[in-house]
Structure 1
Amino acid sequence: MITNTALDEMYQNLEEETRYIYRSLGLLPVCEINADMTAAITELPWGRVEWGLEVLADEQLLEPLGDHEGRVRYRLVSVARDHARSLALQHDPEHDRVLVLRRLCDWVLTISTQAQVRLTTAQATLRLSTMTEPPAVPAPFDDDAGALAWLESHEGNLLALLRSAQAAGWDELVWQLVDSFWPWFLRRHPYELWSAAHEIGLAAARRVGNEPAVRQMLLSGAIGLNAAGRMKDALRWYGEACDAARHAGDLRDEGQALLGLGSCHHDAGMPEQARPFLTRAIALWRSCGYPRGVALANIVLGEIDLADDPRRAMDAFAEARADLLEVDDSFDAARALVLQGHACVRTGDVEGGIREMTTGLASLADASSTRWRARALELLGAAHHDKGDTATARGYYQQAEQLYAVMRPADAERVRDLSAGLARLLTRPSAADVAGLHGEGPRG
């Protein structure tokens, strides 16, 4: 183990600029760093920062973690972190130390906002309204996959960054950081992080009295709470958002809260309680000219209709998909197409339904949506199950199980049981077995 004396000797042998880099890194509340981040917090040229990081790695003060998007990532070893921080406290004025943290927060927010605008434009409306000038830092990505990968690379830093910004009193920055990571929450469903981040963001928005931000945190946070199975908490957040939106006269946010309340009741197996919320949301959104919201509510109504009237459900999904494509929402349009295919299977057109679900699945894979890819795979497994193709059905179930396992263990276990039942058929198939299985499987 490196002693403090050895660290002091290493530090004294560094050039002054590299010393400053080292001290600055000790102030960061993040696990992983790279040259882009370090250049942002020190305001030094990128090439000199890269060289400084290589020197620190050669001295074994930084641990290389491999490349990500063409950038070498590092971790400051724990003993060096404490040493670097103590040196910063000795040599750097408080104002300069605070500035290092603020530059880090601003850098993350600038790039995550660009990812949000690229991946989920509709959700970025409130964030865009807070921006007074174009981003000062160019995005280190030029496609959707790169934007999502950048968010993934900073997922592990988010909570520590939020807590540091909260302690510094930068509440407007806090909720904006939470909001900017929306594409990551939506596509990958890290439920614990989703909930914890939104609780911090909601408290920050309330402290500064930013009512639109409060509603944003309540609405996007409630989606994660409901998806994680915390229905009571989700209903409370949606209820608060609905009351706040009604008080503010914000029809769009009120409709979003009503959609959430309807979705919660539908997910809990209470379709008749869900319908009034959804029909009210549609009426509000039609009155204020928000077709995307109308389409999203129609998707949930279509899911409710699946049980008793799959043809009506199929029409609802088709209409919703057309409306979503019209407003350039390809992600939700793909969800609608998967459900449209599922409804098609329920009407008896299994082959047609499989084609539509397969097309929808491809779009969801491009969008890197973990939850909806899992659901599409499960529904495709059910469709092949219906047509008696046991081996193909089991393959889809196994793929769905792998995706569910990282976010919804109960769903993974349920699909695992479906796959295991088919495995038993494959080991001892008979006409009676196939006849007994035909037509079974998940339907919603």
Structure 2
Amino acid sequence: MPQLGARLLSLGELSPEEAYDLLDRALRIAAPGDERVANESEAAAELALLCGHLPLALQIAAALLVLDRDKPVAELAESGDRLLHLDDGERSVRAAFDLSYGRLPAEQARLLRLLALAPGPEVTDEVLAVLDGADAPPVRVLDALSRAHLVERGSGRGRWRLHDLVRAFGVGVVEGDAGLLAEGDTARGRVLELYLRWARAADGWLRWLPGKPAPERFGDRAGALAWLDSERAGLVAAVQWAREERYADTAVRLSQYLAEYLDWRRLFDDWVTVCGVAREAAHRAGNRAREAIAWNSLGIALRQTGRTEDAIDAHIRARDLYQFVGDGYREAFAWGSLGRALRQTGRTEEAIEAYTRARDLFQAAGDRPREAMAWDNLGTVLRETDRAEESIDAHTRARDLHETAGDRHGEAMAWNNLGSALWEAGRVEESFEACAKALERFRKFEDWYRAGQTLSNLALAYQRATRPTEARTHYLQSADAFTRANAPAEAAQARTRAEEVTP
């Protein structure tokens, strides 16, 4: 349409610095003395971000500021809605997207709409194929959308993303048409089912013990973790679809298969989000058993983020719901989790009672690995109440039960705790040997957080034994392990302690 002065504009985004300069330059061209962008640099950066760093949106924002010389940059930034509806009377972001979308062939328009509904900021080839309802990703259609600057390559090979404003436009198109909405709902359902199947298999690998049938889909535990890492943002976003009734049951089940992974990777904010959504959905559906699971999982996440009193309340709610539905086995989990939270607040006698209840219920159910965990937890709180010999006995029982069950990771935790109990009893060399066994196993599992804890314990023991060189070495190794475990506060503390060691 050259007679109208129209031209195609690239939707490629600028860098934050380029976007800022575009705003500043546009205002100074209109009025050389206009220093609003320079004087409100933070607001200008926010405005550029709301524009998605897209040239068209930035040009329209600048035009609105030029038209009203008294308007602060911050005022325009605060009025945005992602500025999708930004309009200066001649140009609008929506109009530009409408024009681009209207020129697309049907198969490209359909894929763009489906991509806008995908969970998370990026989508893999695999998930894209499921969205499309095909056996393989539509590479030819993707390439065409990429050339039109409507789809971008993601952070790695086989990953795709939409600019936030393009995504918002696509969602708006779908929501405005009942037929497209039904098509999108079906596509999202397919993605949710895919995530459920694969997350179940990945969770199975994280919990797998030698001698048990190997879970499906992944070759080993490392492969399962790699998939979870790559899909984490999408998985967490998909669980939040539980707010919609049609997806609630599947999304709640998906949340349960993410708990072990989110705990393992110490992604506690994601865990709180996932559990909170699942708990609300289960409560709305009247599913008290699933609600109890969500409450207990939420309590663990809350405790890890320092909200211990809230965690205690969550575990009590879970325990009471399990008792209400008559599930004694899962009630044992709630007792064990409650014990950890009570111990963290210093309520040791109540913690001993909770761990004892958990141990007895697991023992009655014949679950030896869980019984071992309860023994191990009980041993820790007994040590803290100066009952060293009882603590050593409890950790020894835990170690032997884990070993019999083939749970090498649980065995490592028991060795570590046994080392602490032996130290308290004055059995120093035995303590060093126990911690070394724990460390060896944690490293094999790439459990860097617990490896960091064990190294810190060893460092402290060497420090007390007046062996400063070994103490410093182990503190520094502990800092490295905590860094790998995404625990910067613990890493910093370990480095500080290394510096404080005196020869």
- Superposed pair shares fold, TM > 0.5: yes
Which sections of structure 1, spanning at least 5 residues, go unmatched?
Answer: 123-134, 430-444
- Residue 56 (1) aligns with residue 145 (2): yes
In the other structure, the counterpart of 2:111 is 21
Of 219, 223, 234, 1:157 maps to 234
Give the drift of 1:222: 1.3
Of 217, 220, 232, 2:294 maps to 217
State the one-letter code of the partner of 2:120: V
Residue 60 of structure 1 aligns to a residue in which SS?
Answer: coil
State the one-letter code of the partner of 1:231: T
Judged with a 3 Å threshold, the aligned counterparts in structure 2 of structure 1 residues 302 and 27 are, in CA distance, closer, same or farther, namely same
In the other structure, the counterpart of 1:45 is 135
What is the CA deviation profile of residues 282-322 of structure 1, one whole-angstrom value per residue up to 9, with x for unaligned ones?
22333332323321111112112334344443332222122
Judged with a 3 Å threshold, the aligned counterparts in structure 2 of structure 1 residues 248 and 89 are, in CA distance, closer, same or farther, namely closer
- Residue 284 (1) aligns with residue 361 (2): yes
Of 158, 168, 180, 1:93 maps to 180
What is the CA deviation profile of residues 134-185 of structure 1, one whole-angstrom value per residue up to 9, with x for unaligned ones?
x9xx73x321112112112222234432333413542212211211102212
For residues 208 and 105 of structure 1, what CA distance do their matches in structure 2 show?
Answer: 18
In the other structure, the counterpart of 2:498 is 419
What is the CA deviation profile of residues 345-385 of structure 1, one whole-angstrom value per residue up to 9, with x for unaligned ones?
44445444334323322332343435323312211222332
State the one-letter code of the partner of 1:57: S
What is the CA deviation profile of residues 35-93 of structure 1, one whole-angstrom value per residue up to 9, with x for unaligned ones?
100001111231x52443344334433332343xxx52222122332343345456753
In the other structure, the counterpart of 2:20 is none
For residues 155 and 208 of structure 2, what CA distance do their matches in structure 1 show?
Answer: 32
For residues 64 and 85 of structure 1, what CA distance do their matches in structure 2 show?
Answer: 20
Task: Give the number of the structure whose alpha-carbon radius of gyration is greater.
Answer: 2
What is the CA deviation profile of residues 221-253 of structure 1, one whole-angstrom value per residue up to 9, with x for unaligned ones?
212222222111111111112222223332212
For residues 176 and 500 of structure 2, what CA distance do their matches in structure 1 show?
Answer: 66
Is the contact between residue 338 and residue 376 of structure 1 (CA under 8 Å) also seen in structure 2? yes
In the other structure, the counterpart of 2:435 is 357
Deviates more, 1:171-180 or 1:323-332: 323-332
Is the contact between residue 63 and residue 76 of structure 1 (CA under 8 Å) also seen in structure 2? yes
In the other structure, the counterpart of 2:342 is 265
Identity of aligned residues (%): 24
Is the contact between residue 306 and residue 343 of structure 1 (CA under 8 Å) also seen in structure 2? yes
For residues 99 and 309 of structure 2, what CA distance do their matches in structure 1 show?
Answer: 57
Judged with a 3 Å threshold, the aligned counterparts in structure 2 of structure 1 residues 262 and 90 are, in CA distance, closer, same or farther, namely closer
- Residue 36 (1) aligns with residue 126 (2): yes
Give the number of equivalent residue pairs.
Answer: 405
Judged with a 3 Å threshold, the aligned counterparts in structure 2 of structure 1 residues 395 and 77 are, in CA distance, closer, same or farther, namely farther
For residues 362 and 63 of structure 1, what CA distance do their matches in structure 2 show?
Answer: 44
For residues 146 and 159 of structure 1, what CA distance do their matches in structure 2 show?
Answer: 19
Deviates more, 1:49-58 or 1:33-42: 49-58
Is the contact between residue 359 and residue 374 of structure 2 (CA under 8 Å) also seen in structure 1? yes
Judged with a 3 Å threshold, the aligned counterparts in structure 2 of structure 1 residues 32 and 273 are, in CA distance, closer, same or farther, namely same
Deviates more, 1:347-356 or 1:277-286: 347-356
What is the CA deviation profile of residues 168-211 of structure 1, one whole-angstrom value per residue up to 9, with x for unaligned ones?
54221221121110221221121211112111111111111222
Deviates more, 1:1-10 or 1:281-290: 1-10
Is the contact between residue 21 and residue 42 of structure 1 (CA under 8 Å) also seen in structure 2? yes
Q: Alignment RMSD, CA only? A: 2.9
- Residue 195 (1) aligns with residue 272 (2): yes
In the other structure, the counterpart of 2:39 is none
Is the contact between residue 188 and residue 368 of structure 1 (CA under 8 Å) also seen in structure 2? no
For residues 54 and 324 of structure 1, what CA distance do their matches in structure 2 show?
Answer: 52
Is the contact between residue 165 and residue 174 of structure 1 (CA under 8 Å) also seen in structure 2? yes
For residues 488 and 108 of structure 2, what CA distance do their matches in structure 1 show?
Answer: 46
For residues 169 and 466 of structure 2, what CA distance do their matches in structure 1 show?
Answer: 65
Residue 170 of structure 1 aligns to a residue in which SS?
Answer: helix
Of 316, 321, 325, 2:403 maps to 325
Give the drift of 1:336: 1.0
Judged with a 3 Å threshold, the aligned counterparts in structure 2 of structure 1 residues 253 and 350 are, in CA distance, closer, same or farther, namely same
In the other structure, the counterpart of 1:379 is 457
Residue 152 of structure 2 aligns to a residue in which SS?
Answer: strand
In the other structure, the counterpart of 1:76 is 162
State the one-letter code of the partner of 1:100: A
State the one-letter code of the partner of 1:420: E
Give the drift of 1:333: 2.0
State the one-letter code of the partner of 2:150: L
- The TM-score normalised by the length of structure 1 is 0.81
Give the drift of 1:109: 1.5
Judged with a 3 Å threshold, the aligned counterparts in structure 2 of structure 1 residues 58 and 311 are, in CA distance, closer, same or farther, namely farther
- The TM-score normalised by the length of structure 2 is 0.72
In the other structure, the counterpart of 1:314 is 392
State the one-letter code of the partner of 2:498: S
- The one of the two structures with greater contact order (alpha-carbon pairs below 8 A, sep at least 6) is 1
Give the drift of 1:111: 0.9
In the other structure, the counterpart of 2:3 is none
Is the contact between residue 152 and residue 184 of structure 1 (CA under 8 Å) also seen in structure 2? no
For residues 249 and 393 of structure 2, what CA distance do their matches in structure 1 show?
Answer: 43
Judged with a 3 Å threshold, the aligned counterparts in structure 2 of structure 1 residues 8 and 203 are, in CA distance, closer, same or farther, namely closer
Which sections of structure 2, spanning at least 5 residues, go unmatched?
Answer: 1-9, 12-55, 57-92, 210-214
The aligned runs of 1:230-269 (5 Å cut-off) are 230-269=307-346
For residues 281 and 85 of structure 1, what CA distance do their matches in structure 2 show?
Answer: 48
For residues 72 and 15 of structure 1, what CA distance do their matches in structure 2 show?
Answer: 23
- Residue 171 (1) aligns with residue 248 (2): yes
Judged with a 3 Å threshold, the aligned counterparts in structure 2 of structure 1 residues 322 and 51 are, in CA distance, closer, same or farther, namely farther
